[in-house]
Amino acid sequence: MAQRHLDPTDPRSRHAGPVPTGDALAGYLRAQATEFLRALRLHRETGSGAGGSEGSTDAARALRRSARRISASLHTFQSLLDTDWCEGMRPELAWVSGTLAMEHAYTARLERLLSALHRLSGSTALPGQTTAAAAGTRAGPAAGSRAAGAARVGGGGPPARAKPSVGEAPRDAGLPTDPTSAPERGNLTVGAAKAGALLDRQLNLARTRAHSTALQALGSSRFHAIADKVAVLASEVPLTKTASTTDLRPLASAAEGRLTDAVAALPLVTAGNPYNASALVHGLSPDTVPHPQDAPWHQVRLLLRLHRYAREAQRGEPNGNAVVDLRLLSAGQALNHHRDASEAAAAAAQAARTPRIAPATAYALGVLHADQRHEVEAARFAFQQCWQKETVSTS
Amino acid sequence: MAQRHLDPTDPRSRHAGPVPTGDALAGYLRAQATEFLRALRLHRETGSGAGGSEGSTDAARALRRSARRISASLHTFQSLLDTDWCEGMRPELAWVSGTLAMEHAYTARLERLLSALHRLSGSTALPGQTTAAAAGTRAGPAAGSRAAGAARVGGGGPPARAKPSVGEAPRDAGLPTDPTSAPERGNLTVGAAKAGALLDRQLNLARTRAHSTALQALGSSRFHAIADKVAVLASEVPLTKTASTTDLRPLASAAEGRLTDAVAALPLVTAGNPYNASALVHGLSPDTVPHPQDAPWHQVRLLLRLHRYAREAQRGEPNGNAVVDLRLLSAGQALNHHRDASEAAAAAAQAARTPRIAPATAYALGVLHADQRHEVEAARFAFQQCWQKETVSTS
């Protein structure tokens, strides 16, 4: 895990020290390539049976992680690198991380939807699921009661006092989130149970297919060619001649500028106004997924990631020692939740189109869809709150 | 309409002037009784055909309005009034206002649900419906763009700056709330259209029955007996011997205390935390309506009304010249929206239990139910915001 240094008082201090050049980029790329190879070795060692062991899941995550970082650096700092090599490498790395991501995505989506069905049925969510599926916008019971104690209305402070920061979601008594209560699986309604079974069937099928595709991909000659190129990159980065004297910062700033522009185009005023009900505006529209209104947020999610990786590279910090900006991280998490909830809502809507389902099943899927669209709205609100804090504290 | 005097800097100034006694109460009761008789005359003049003319609707509303005020005063200031008379009168007045309220409630519920179906389908809501059904938590397009302009993120202010007060809900571009666009009725999905037709049928049937019941009630000997008693009240209030020298304020304070206690028992920390998702917790539970978690909020709604009427009586202000506390009014409006959304959500869930409906209809009703439960949550948030403001500014 990355070691975290939080310096909220002066985020500009990241530019202190010597000017980062192409050499820092080369160091970063070598470290990421080494990490890629290490994860690949680990993945082969831990096996790759259907469902995947914990080790192979971790290894696949680490593979995706370094593939994303290499690909992002090739994008942001392309002018410092051999052009042909960059253009050949980037789509291949995107293919690797995209293919490996699918299995995990289906697993997480199913977990999120089943957890939501339990929550909506008033039954206790399975332990671990609540936090996994809803962390960030909804804290677990322990954090909730802690925050509730701290934020208890005293009647004294201004209205903003009770506002939680991202990741805090105080819950009062009366909700079935008592950490001591045992998980109950039995008390779903017929509709919720049938909806759960339907989603389980559909998403497990998709997950199994994704697993086979990933296995096939990892055994393909296309993947072996990529692994060979990454092995070369681990020792030799194809920098241009002028790269080692070129300042990385203007290129990193350009990445930040693209992010800032994209954020400025988001409907943040709406997002910052709780219960604006905009995420569900097309909840019953005849169009199939994805929601067009989600696209700019997904785009910002990608640009935020590019910005974050550009900062990592610019500092020349090897992986595992990166200085993490917690605000960027929580803004990114909000956008991840946005994406997850958006896709989960789409999966619920899609399942409702299954022919010959019972009305009770369809009703439960409708409630579930709307619930996930509201999670989309909640994630936008959380992002707006992070982003505003950032703007205020750096200006 | 009541003339509004807003004095947010010192709400305690309401206690200035001579001490209000039973005489002020008598004046208030006489005025309300006169108003009741005037509304009754108007109701008879405007006719009472099925569906009800606008005049008869207004008259019925005025009847309920004065019946509620008389009944509330009998409750709060019972110790100043003849006990037998009070005990005989109160259930009868409750019966009148309850019976007369049903028709309007079904009309408003249907309007709210159809408007929501249009909103969820991405079609423009019918003009007038948006504001009627959603004022308070969701402003209309004109108010929205105004507020959006005013609250545009400048990057300077603290997070609380962009928070809207109740009744403001800024919306950005990209939502189909352009005031110039014509209303479209044709673009509902099959499911939404069928759900709308089902709700229309069920709620119109209920409304027609409520109309007949109200007509029957107004023609009954029970009602005539009440009207006779109110006619006597308009000239002669049965005060106890000591009433005219008894201070009304301790009794009014007791009513306020009951309200404060009930509010303190509400989960306001949760409510003040946007997107806490607690209103939908039992969204799929097998229990039928009403939601048990809504009951304390409904209770606070009634206590808030008692408090408001006690303040009116204490000031001895005749109807039509009441000093309205805008914060109390907006807190009350939030609780009205809470009640309306809660009942609309229940109606959608109830409609989904209709045998032999299509899955698409059930799905639309599920989305609609969840949407209305989120309006419930939004109303709690709005109430919490009002209440906190009140606590802060009076402390």
CA separation, residue B39 to residues B44, B52, B89 (Å): 9, 15, 19
Which segment of A134-148, A359-373, B74-88 scores lowest on mean pLDDT? A134-148
> What rounded mean pLDDT belongs to chain A?
80
Q: Which is it for the CA torsion A33, A39, A42, A46, positive or negative?
A: negative
In this complex, the residue of B163, B164, B281 whose CB is nearest that of residue A119 is: B281
Confidence at A316, pLDDT banded by 50, 70, 90: low
Burial of B231 (0-12, 13-18, 19+ CB in 10 A): middle
Subunit contact B374:A374, Cβ cutoff 8 A: yes
Subunit contact B267:A392, Cβ cutoff 8 A: no
Subunit contact B371:A283, Cβ cutoff 8 A: yes
pLDDT in the model for residue B17:
66
Which residue of chain B comes nearest to A390, CA vs CA?
A: B155
Per DSSP, the three-state class of B21 is strand
pLDDT in tens, B305-316: 999 999 999 886
CB neighbours of residue A143 within 10 Å: 17
Amino acid at A61: R
Distance CA B253, CA A336 (A): 51
CB neighbours of residue A48 within 10 Å: 17
CB neighbours of residue A86 within 10 Å: 18
pLDDT in tens, A269-297: 999 999 998 898 877 876 665 678 999 99
pLDDT in the model for residue A160:
36
Give the fold, CATH level 3, of B4-394: CHAD domain (1.40.20)
Subunit contact B368:A366, Cβ cutoff 8 A: yes
Residue B81 β-bridge partners: B239
pLDDT in tens, B361-379: 999 999 999 999 999 999 9
Subunit contact B191:A361, Cβ cutoff 8 A: no
pLDDT in tens, A96-129: 999 999 999 999 999 999 999 999 987 654 434 3
Q: What are the two backbone dihedrals, phi and then psi, of residue B348, each rounded to the nearest 5 degrees?
A: -65, -45
pLDDT in tens, B146-158: 333 333 333 333 3
Best interface-test mutation with A: which of B367, B376, B380 has the largest number of A CBs within 10 A?
Answer: B367
pLDDT in tens, B119-134: 998 765 443 433 333 3
Contact list in B for residue A281 (CB cut-off 8 A) is 119-120, 122, 175-176
pLDDT for residue A15 is more than 60:
no
pLDDT for residue A358 is more than 90:
yes
Residue among A172, A347, A367 at smallest CA distance from B283: A367
Subunit contact A164:B364, Cβ cutoff 8 A: no
Q: What is the DSSP string of A126-155?
A: PTTHHHHHHTTTS--HHHHHHHHHHH---S
Contact list in A for residue B364 (CB cut-off 8 A) is 284, 366
Contact list in B for residue A117 (CB cut-off 8 A) is 284
Q: Give how far B205 is from chain A: nearest CA, Å.
A: 23
Subunit contact B159:A385, Cβ cutoff 8 A: yes
pLDDT in the model for residue B46:
84
Which residue of chain B comes nearest to A275, CA vs CA?
A: B378
Residue among A234, A211, A214 at smallest CA distance from A223: A214
Distance CA A357, CA A351 (A): 9
Best interface-test mutation with A: which of B177, B178, B273, B371 has the largest number of A CBs within 10 A?
Answer: B273
Which segment of A171-175, B205-209, B317-321 scores lowest on mean pLDDT? A171-175
CA dihedral B137, B140, B146, B148 (to 10 degrees): 50
pLDDT in the model for residue B290:
63
Subunit contact B280:A120, Cβ cutoff 8 A: yes
pLDDT in the model for residue A57:
86
Residue among B263, B252, B243, B266 at smallest CA distance from B306: B252
Helix ranges, B166-281 (H)? 190-219, 221-233, 249-264, 268-271
CB neighbours of residue B172 within 10 Å: 19
Q: Give how far A314 is from chain B: nearest CA, Å.
A: 26
Which whole number is the average pLDDT over A70-86? 95
Q: What is the DSSP string of A20-87?
A: P-HHHHHHHHHHHHHHHHHHHHHHHHS---TT--HHHHHHHHHHHHHHHHHHHHHHHTGGGB-HHHHH
pLDDT in tens, B210-269: 999 999 999 999 999 999 999 999 999 999 999 989 999 999 999 999 999 999 999 999
Share of residues in chain A with pLDDT > 90 (%) = 63
Subunit contact B120:A280, Cβ cutoff 8 A: yes
Say which residue, A166 or A312, is predicted with more confidence: A312
Subunit contact A153:B272, Cβ cutoff 8 A: yes
Contact list in A for residue B383 (CB cut-off 8 A) is none
Residue A81 β-bridge partners: A239
pLDDT in tens, B60-107: 999 999 999 999 999 999 999 999 999 999 999 999 999 999 999 999
CB neighbours of residue B341 within 10 Å: 28
pLDDT for residue B323 is more than 70:
no
Subunit contact A280:B371, Cβ cutoff 8 A: yes
In this complex, the residue of A159, A171, A293 whose CB is nearest that of residue B163 is: A159
Q: Give how far B163 is from chain A: nearest CA, Å.
A: 6
Say which residue, A296 or A149, is predicted with more confidence: A296
Per DSSP, the three-state class of B81 is strand
**Token code pair at residue A380:** 């936008």
- Its ipTM equals 0.79
Contact list in B for residue A283 (CB cut-off 8 A) is 120-121, 367, 371
Share of residues in chain B with pLDDT > 90 (%) = 63
Q: Give how far B242 is from chain A: nearest CA, Å.
A: 38
Per DSSP, the three-state class of B247 is strand
pLDDT for residue A378 is more than 80:
yes
Residue among A116, A172, A167, A52 at smallest CA distance from A364: A116
In this complex, the residue of B187, B282, B359 whose CB is nearest that of residue A357 is: B359
How far is Cα of residue A124 from the mean position of the Cα atoms in its chain? 25
pLDDT in the model for residue A322:
52
User: What is the maximum alpha-carbon separation in chain A?
Assistant: 68
Confidence at A19, pLDDT banded by 50, 70, 90: confident
Q: How many CA atoms lie within 13 A of B332 on its CB side?
A: 15
Q: Which is it for the CA torsion A20, A23, A29, A34, positive or negative?
A: negative
CA separation, residue B98 to residues A169, B47, B92, B101, B213 (Å): 39, 20, 10, 5, 11
Subunit contact B362:A367, Cβ cutoff 8 A: no
Subunit contact A121:B285, Cβ cutoff 8 A: yes
Residue B21 β-bridge partners: B247
In this complex, the residue of B160, B173, B367 whose CB is nearest that of residue A366 is: B367
pLDDT for residue A377 is more than 60:
yes
Best interface-test mutation with B: which of A177, A198, A367, A385 has the largest number of B CBs within 10 A?
Answer: A367
Q: Give how far A117 is from chain B: nearest CA, Å.
A: 8
CA dihedral B42, B48, B49, B55 (to 10 degrees): 30
Say which residue, B388 or A122, is predicted with more confidence: B388
Residue among A367, A137, A368 at smallest CA distance from A274: A137
Q: Give how far B203 is from chain A: nearest CA, Å.
A: 19
**Token code pair at residue B22:** 């039973």
Confidence at A17, pLDDT banded by 50, 70, 90: low
Which whole number is the average pLDDT over A125-139? 39
Residue among A280, A248, A227, A288 at smallest CA distance from A89: A227
Nearby residues of B276 by Cβ (< 8 Å), 6 or more positions away = A138, A169, A171, B270, B377
Distance CA A252, CA A259 (A): 11
pLDDT in the model for residue A164:
38
pLDDT in the model for residue A187:
57
Which residue of chain A comes nearest to B147, CA vs CA?
A: A269
Best interface-test mutation with B: which of A120, A152, A338, A363 has the largest number of B CBs within 10 A?
Answer: A363
Distance CA A211, CA B28 (A): 76
pLDDT for residue A267 is more than 80:
yes
User: What is the C-alpha R_g of chain B?
Assistant: 23
pLDDT for residue A170 is more than 60:
no
pLDDT in the model for residue A318:
52
Contact list in A for residue B285 (CB cut-off 8 A) is 121-122, 189
Q: How many CA atoms lie within 13 A of B51 on its CB side?
A: 1
Residue B239 β-bridge partners: B81
Q: Give how far A287 is from chain B: nearest CA, Å.
A: 9
Which whole number is the average pLDDT over B262-285? 91
pLDDT for residue A143 is more than 70:
no
Best interface-test mutation with A: which of B275, B372, B388 has the largest number of A CBs within 10 A?
Answer: B275
CA separation, residue B245 to residues A11, B23, B309, B313, B383 (Å): 69, 8, 21, 15, 37
Subunit contact B277:A374, Cβ cutoff 8 A: yes
Q: Give how far A390 is from chain B: nearest CA, Å.
A: 9
First to last CA, chain A: 30
Which residue of chain B comes nearest to A157, CA vs CA?
A: B392
pLDDT in tens, B1-34: 444 444 444 444 444 568 899 999 999 999 999 9
* DSSP designation for B47: -
Q: Are A343 and A105 in contact (CB under 8 A)?
A: yes
Per DSSP, the three-state class of A159 is helix
Buried b (16+ CB within 10 A) or exposed e, B317-330: bebeebbbbebbbb
Q: Give how far B369 is from chain A: nearest CA, Å.
A: 7
Distance CA B123, CA A39 (A): 50
Which residue of chain A comes nearest to B164, CA vs CA?
A: A273
**Token code pair at residue A15:** 């530019």
**Chain A / chain B CB contacts < 8 angstroms:** 255
Which residue of chain A comes nearest to B285, CA vs CA?
A: A121
Subunit contact A365:B369, Cβ cutoff 8 A: no
Amino acid at A319: N
pLDDT in the model for residue A8:
41
Which residue of chain A comes nearest to B385, CA vs CA?
A: A159
Best interface-test mutation with B: which of A130, A138, A171, A269 has the largest number of B CBs within 10 A?
Answer: A269
In this complex, the residue of A152, A189, A268 whose CB is nearest that of residue B284 is: A189
Q: Give how far A166 is from chain B: nearest CA, Å.
A: 11
Q: Are A378 and B274 in contact (CB under 8 A)?
A: yes
